[in-house]
Amino acid sequence: MPRGAARSFQCKIETEGKGWLTTTAVDAKASMADNDSALASPASPPAYTLRLTFAYKGRAVQLVRTQRVAMVSPPSVTPPPEPGQAGYWFEVRDATGALIFHRAIHSPVRTDVEVHSNDPKRSITRVPIDNDEGEFELLVPDLPNARSFAFYGTPGGVRAPNPPSTELLRLDFDALRKTGSTH
């Protein structure tokens, strides 16, 4: 196909289970010419991701909703967590217990807030909050061989800098796949 030529291909869009959407793509790079066969083949169904909504109060975390969505999950961009590591992350494991996916995440459980001051020596400080409860969402790839999901974070009541994380929640992956379920 000549460089810059337009071509049509199909990609399946899951919107309440309806139809196909035809899209036009423009070949902007010569290297894409090598991929013509991949683009000419029928589109495969999109990958699925589980949108998991959790509620927390203090360090108690519970799953409140799951939703299966047709989208590619954000990738893992860090090495697998090591024993004794601090921070928040989740893991997906297979039936043998082997790690098949993990993702480090910014602390979803708020325990303090940033307070600004006019004092130049302490212009920004972190202050513990009295009511540490809320909700957060995680996007987890729905991998066919996934059997368990685990969420790790800082243990409750620990105020030391960078304490080792512990498992805060473990769930069976088949239970998570129940689309639209509320827990």
**Domain-embedded: residue 183:** no
Q: What rounded mean pLDDT belongs to the chain?
A: 76
Are 33 and 96 in the same domain? no
In this predicted model, what pLDDT tens digit does every residue of 2-20 receive, in sequence order? 544 444 333 333 334 433 3
- The string over 6-33, giving b where at least 16 C-beta atoms fall within 10 Å of a residue's C-beta and e elsewhere, is eeeeeeeeeeeeeeeeeeeeebeeeebe
Are 122 and 145 in the same domain? yes
**Domain-embedded: residue 26:** yes
Are 98 and 19 in the same domain? no
**Domain-embedded: residue 182:** no
> What pTM did the predictor assign?
0.67
pLDDT score at 65: 94
- Below-50 pLDDT ranges, the chain: 1, 3-42
